[in-house]
Structure 1
C-alpha cells in the first residue's frame, strides 16, 4: 500500500488546520500518553519502537508535501505548506521532536505517563499534535501485550500450584490463533508480536518478520504441525480414524508434538473409540505427544470431560505436587478462549486433580481483535505550551466526565528504586529541562529519550523487552 507511506497523510483531517489555532507567540508544545484506567490496572508498554522505525526514520520530502497539499486542498482543509517546506529545507526533513518513554517491556500502573512528545524547534511547535493520530496507535500493541501478560499471570498461578516445572511450561501455554480474525496483515504482525513478548507459541506468521525487522529477533515464536477440520473431514466420516492415523504417520516421531482437532463429529467418541482404543498403541509407540483439540461446546465442561476420557485411555502419573499428568497425550482448547474462560477452565481441572501441564490454550479474536482504544482508555493529550516565553498548563476538565480530566504541565515518570512503584511528577514551569528537576526521595527517572530530531536513540531488542516484561509479576 504505497499510497499510505506519506507521513503527512498519516493523520486526521482536522489536524491539518491546527497550526492556525494556537495562541499568538506559541513556540513550544508538550504532549503525553497515558492509560486512564480500563479493564486492567496496569499495562505492558510495547510497540513504540516499531512505529518510530516504520514512519519517522524516512525524512519528509518535497514530493510528500506536494501530495499532501493537493489532497488537503481538494479535501477542504487548510495545509501548512510553508511550515513543512521549512522542515525539509532547514532541517533536512527530520521532524523537530523529542519523544521520551518507559523502556519497552515495562509494566506500569494505569494513570501514569507512559511517554511524552515535545517540540524542539520554535518554528515547528505544531508538529507533535500533527503526529497524535499515528503515535496514539501504540494503544494497540500495548493493549494486546497487556491482555497476554495478564493471561500469563493467571497461567503462572495455576502452574505454580499444580506443576513440577512452572516456568519451563509457561512460555507455550497460550498460543496465538488470531491472524485470520484481525483487520489486516499489519494488525496481525503488530498484535502477534505483542503477544510474543510474553509467550513463545504462535501461528501468526507475520509477527515473526515484524519482530525481526523492528526488534532484532531472529525467531520470535514457534509452532507445530496441526490438523484443521478440512484435513480431517476430507477423509469422510466413515474414515475418521484413518485421518487420525495419517496424522500420526506423517508427524508423530519420538519427542515431537502434533495437534489433532477431533470434534468434527463427536469428540467423546473420537477419544474413546479412535484415540483410546484403535490408535492407542500407535500413539504410545510413536514416542510423540499427541495434543487433542476440542473446538466446540462449553469450554469448561468439554475440556474437563476430554481430560477424564483421555485419562481412562492412557492413564497418568502423579507429580510432586499431587496432581495428575496424562501419559502421551494433552489437550489444547482454542474455541471460546479469553482471560476469563482460561481461569474458569483451570479452576475446574485443578479442582478435579489435573495439573495445568495437561492443557494449553489458543486465543484468537479475544487476543488480537476484541479490544479497542477504550479497553485501557488510552489518550494522547497536550499538557503544556510555551506562549510569549512562558510555559502554561494546558488541560481539559469536562464537567460531564471527570474520567476525561487530563494532566497538566510538563511531566515525567519516576520509579522507586527499592519498591518499584511509579509516580508521575510535574516539571516546574521555570525549569529548562529534566536535569534541573529534583526527583522525589528514593525515586529515579523512569523515562528515557528514545527519539530526538530524526534519530532513534534507543534500539531495544526483543530479548530485552521480554526480560523486562517477565520480571514483572502480580
Structure 2
C-alpha cells in the first residue's frame, strides 16, 4: 500500500480535477498552461521554489500500481462514483514507466521578474495525456509560497540596504541584517523549510533549521544560514527577578567569545541596559572577546530601539563613522526581533537615522511577518491554460471575465523575452526564441536543470550590491 498523500502524487490535486479528463473537448491532444504573478503587493517577484517541487514530487517513477490502487479507492469513497482516470494513469505506468510525460519551462530560479509576466509553462508531451497538464496545477501553484517569501525578504533587504548605504561605512554586514525567527510560527515543518529557504535567498541569518536543510537537500548548499548562541526569556527568568544580573553574566561567561545575544526586557529593559549591563557587567562586556547583542522584545519598536541605543551609548561611549553617524563600540550591538515587517522596517530605520544612529548598530529578527503574513493573492499568483490542440487544430485559449478584467488571462504559447533591460511576455506563439529567457527544467520525468543556491542568490541580488 502506498503511504497516502505525503507520497502519492495522484492524491495531490483538488477534487474537481479528478473529473476533468471527462470535460475537455473530444480529440484534445495538447493542453498548455502557464503560471504568473498577475499583480500584487510588490511590483516584481523573486522566482524561487519550483525546483523543490520538481525534485520532491515529479522526478523519476512517480506512478505505481500501488499508488493507482490507493487513489482509486480514495476517490471512489470521496465521490461515491468511479470518476478517477484509472486508464490514464495505467497508460502512464505502462508507456512511460510511471514517469510524467510533461515538459516544464521556467525562468531561472532567483530571477527578479516584474509582475504580469509568465514565470513557467507546463505542457503534456504525450497526446493521450492532455489531461495531466492541469491535474498538476494544485501542486505547481504552491510555488507561490517560497516565491512570495523570497520576494518579501528581498524588498526588506532593499530597505535595509538603502539606510545602511546612507548611514554606514559599507554594506558588509547586510547579509546578516534580517534574521529568520519564523520556525515556530509556520504552519508545518515543510513550510518552514521552503519558506525559510526563500528568505535565505537574500540573507544568511536564520534560526530555522528546516530552511538550511531544505537548501542543503534541494539546492546543493552545504550551509545556507548561520546563527549565534542566544538567550530566551526562560533562560533568564528562571534565575528570578533578583537574579537577572547572574543570568546575564552566566551567558557572558558560558560563551566567552564570539557573538552572543541576551534578551533584556524580561522585567525592565531600561534598568537592564543602564544598570545591569551598563554598570554591573560593563567591565565583563568590554573585556569579552566578542560582541554582545542586546535584545529588546516589547514596546513600540521605533521608540524602544532609539532609547536603548541612547542608553548604551551613554554607558559605553560611542564614536562617529565616516558619514557622521553614531556607532556603539564594536563589542556591542542590538537586535530588534519584535514587530518586524516590511512595513515597520522603514519606520525604525528612519527613526534611527533622525537620531543620528548608524544602521550598522542593529540587526533585525522577523517571524510571522516573514514566513506567514502572506497568501497566494499577495502576488496574485495564478495558473491558466492558454493553448490547446483539438482535432489537430491549434486553439489560443483565454478567459476574460466581464466582472474583473484584472483576471484576463494570456493567449497561446508564450515566451518571456528580455531586451534592453526589460522583460516582456509575448503571446500567441509570436515570440522570438532567441530572446526567450525560459529554460526547460523538467521533461518526461527528468530534471534537466539543477540550480545551486549560489546561482539563485546571484540571480536575486539587489542592484545596490551588484553595482557596489
Aligned to 2:285: 283
Question: Structure 2 regions of 5+ residues with no counterpart?
Answer: none
1:415-462 Cα distance to aligned partner (Å, 9 max, x none):
11xx32100012438xxxxxxx535xxx72111100011111100000
With structure 1 as the length reference, what TM-score do the two structures score?
Answer: 0.95
Q: Shift of the alpha carbon at 1:472?
A: 4.4
1:159 aligns with 2:150: no
Q: Shift of the alpha carbon at 1:412?
A: 1.3
Question: Structure 1 regions of 5+ residues with no counterpart?
Answer: 430-436
Aligned length: 459
Q: Among residues 328, 333, 337, which one is paired with 1:334 in the alignment?
A: 337
Aligned to 1:292: 294
Contact 1:171 1:198 in 2 (8 A): yes
**Helix, strand or coil: the match of 2:36?**
strand
Instruction: Give the 5 Å matches for 1:67-466.
Output: 67-76=70-79, 78-166=83-171, 168-253=172-257, 256-327=258-329, 328-416=331-419, 419-428=420-429, 438=432, 444-466=435-457
Contact 2:417 2:432 in 1 (8 A): no
With structure 2 as the length reference, what TM-score do the two structures score?
Answer: 0.96
1:386-408 Cα distance to aligned partner (Å, 9 max, x none):
11111112111111111111111
* 4+ residue runs over 2 A deviation: 471-474
Pick closer, same or farther for the CA change 1:198–1:248 going to 2, 3 Å. Answer: same
Q: Shift of the alpha carbon at 1:473?
A: 5.4
Pick closer, same or farther for the CA change 1:87–1:113 going to 2, 3 Å. Answer: same
1:102-121 Cα distance to aligned partner (Å, 9 max, x none):
00010000000000001111
1:345-404 Cα distance to aligned partner (Å, 9 max, x none):
000001111111100000000010111001110001111111111111211111111111
Contact 1:107 1:472 in 2 (8 A): no
RMSD: 1.3
Take 1:169 and 1:318, find their aligned partners in 2: how far apart are those partners? 17
**Helix, strand or coil: the match of 2:104?**
strand
Contact 1:412 1:427 in 2 (8 A): no
1:219-271 Cα distance to aligned partner (Å, 9 max, x none):
01000000000000000001111100101001132xx1100000000101100
Contact 2:263 2:296 in 1 (8 A): yes
Contact 2:410 2:427 in 1 (8 A): no
Take 2:170 and 2:324, find their aligned partners in 1: how far apart are those partners? 13
Contact 1:276 1:310 in 2 (8 A): yes
**Helix, strand or coil: the match of 2:442?**
strand
Take 1:396 and 1:210, find their aligned partners in 2: how far apart are those partners? 37
